Copies of this chain bind each other. A is one copy, B any other.
Amino acid sequence: MSLHNFFYLPLMLSVLMAQTADTHRLFIEDVFEETLTTQGTYKLLKKLCKNYPHRLSGSEGLEAAVQWSKTLLQDSGFERVYLQDVMVPHWERGEKESATYFNNKGKKEQLSVLALGRSVSTPETGITAEVVRVNSLLEIAKIGKKGIAGRIVFINQPFAQHFIRTFEGYSETVEIRSKGPSESAKYGALACVIRSVGTADDDYAHTGALRYENNIEQIPAAALGVKSAEKLSRALKVNPKIKLTLKINSQTFPDKLSHNVIGEITGTENPKKIITLGGHLDAWDVGEGAHDDGAGCMQSVMAVKTLLKLGYKPRNTIRVVLFTNEENGLKGGLTYAEMAKQNNEQLIFAIESDAGGFSPRSIGIKAPDSLIQKVSVWTRYFPEYTIDTIMQGGAPADLGKLNSQTGTPVANLIPDSQRYFDFHHSNADVFEAVNARELELGTASLASFVYLIDQSGL
């Protein structure tokens, strides 16, 4: 190297780096402009939500959505589209459940109610019993057998609203749903009803999976709408002897075949290196699974479509995965991780969008600090008011096993969380609850981040 070169190399390098930075910034600007103006994700989400609203594992709705998604990927420019077999649990709600009581004037009061996922059925005539109201799981043990046995436990614990991130409030509250039924059964309860784990002051009941403990009697369990929970609570204050009648007609069937839906664009430089992005296609059997997680699925498809439309040729293989059975089993994510290991795949990065179609704010990554340091500065490529922070975070549900089993760095797209639990697992989670622009900003953020990962030489 001549002295001449020696002096100019750093300058040339920094010019080159500045050019790359400009290239990234300009390309990402185009990505955002493209999604905001064409609003393709929003149109796809409408089709998914209106044609396949109920997509619970084991249902015909889910498998119809699987077939539709496969065709969608084929029509969207993906080169290799296939289904990955997954055996999933099959629980059905059955006929509409009900919760009723007679008020002081002898008038029958109907409550807004949804059976919890996996709940056993009541007898056909329902369970009728006095109600013991508690405000936390701990109170159940405190009251003990004498107060609980032969009664219906009613856990009226409100959502922990004081956290800024609603996911933290959810974590603090959701154990009343997952553990409440078995905790009540330990002391002889006949059934368990909980106040819905939701943020809104309305009467939508929010379902979700319960977890029966081994060797504890499995009792029927359901969630009441917040307004209904408050109504029952007021009625019990006036008359603690009120009897509640809970009817649930659920049934559990043998496991059933479902599928992860997978589409790939082969990398031009490193076809064996794979970047995964996705969401989960299954949803509860109420509402339309719009925010949870139709949004994440359609964002993933449109993120890749947008990159292709802008003429981008990925260096690495880009793989969209629409997972099955996130809601009540996680079998889709588990199978994906197992197959990746079995096939010795080189998964260099995986990201999921499963926190609703709201304005994106950050990306949380589960990876060694050295990687986080490298990618956290990429916020500079994102437009203002999109991705402000890229930092260390937890693994998304469908990618946890992949991370623990293969060490693949995994990430969450983190949108604003304020409204998520207004809709989550309820009849309120419909297409109309999604704002087109917020949804598309998420698509653009996903596409941009996948592009940067692809460009980074990871």
Q: Looking at the complex, which of A82-90, A263-271, A341-349, A434-442 is the stretch in contact with chain B?
A: A434-442
A453: CB under 8 A from chain B?
A: no
Question: Please, which residues of chain B bring their CB within 8 A of the CB of A419?
Answer: 435, 437-438
Which of the residues B164, B201, B383, B385 comes within 8 Å of A361, measured between beta carbons? B385
A258: CB under 8 A from chain B?
A: no
Docked complex: A233-258 residues within 8 A CB-CB of B:
none
Q: How far is the CB of A441 from chain B (nearest CB, A)?
A: 7
A435 to B423, CA, bound (A): 12
A33: CB under 8 A from chain B?
A: yes
| Interface SS majority for chain A | loop
Docked complex: A152-179 residues within 8 A CB-CB of B:
161-166
- Who on chain B is nearest to A391 by CB? B384
A203: CB under 8 A from chain B?
A: no
Task: Tell whether, in the assembled complex, residue B422 and residue A384 are in contact, meaning their CB atoms are under 8 Å apart.
Answer: no
Q: A161 and B437 in contact (CB under 8 A), knowing A359-B359, A388-B388? A: yes
A122: CB under 8 A from chain B?
A: no
Stoichiometry (number of copies): 2
A200 to B437, CA, bound (A): 9
Question: Please, which residues of chain B bring their CB within 8 A of the CB of A33?
Answer: 162
Docked complex: A212-230 residues within 8 A CB-CB of B:
none
Which of the residues B37, B389, B438 comes within 8 Å of A162, measured between beta carbons? B37
Q: A437 and B385 in contact (CB under 8 A), knowing A32-B164, A36-B161, A359-B416? A: no
Which of the residues B37, B164, B385, B386 comes within 8 Å of A441, measured between beta carbons? B164
A39 to B159, CA, bound (A): 13
A428 to B438, CA, bound (A): 18
Instruction: Report the 4 A-B pairs with minimum CB-CB distance, sorted nearest first.
Output: A418-B437, A33-B162, A418-B438, A359-B416
27 A-B residue contacts at CB 8 Å?
A32-B164, A36-B161, A36-B163, A37-B162, A39-B161, A39-B201, A164-B384, A164-B386, A164-B441, A165-B384, A199-B437, A201-B436, A359-B359, A359-B416, A359-B418, A361-B385, A384-B389, A385-B416, A385-B417, A416-B416, A418-B435, A418-B437, A418-B438, A418-B441, A419-B437, A419-B438, A422-B435
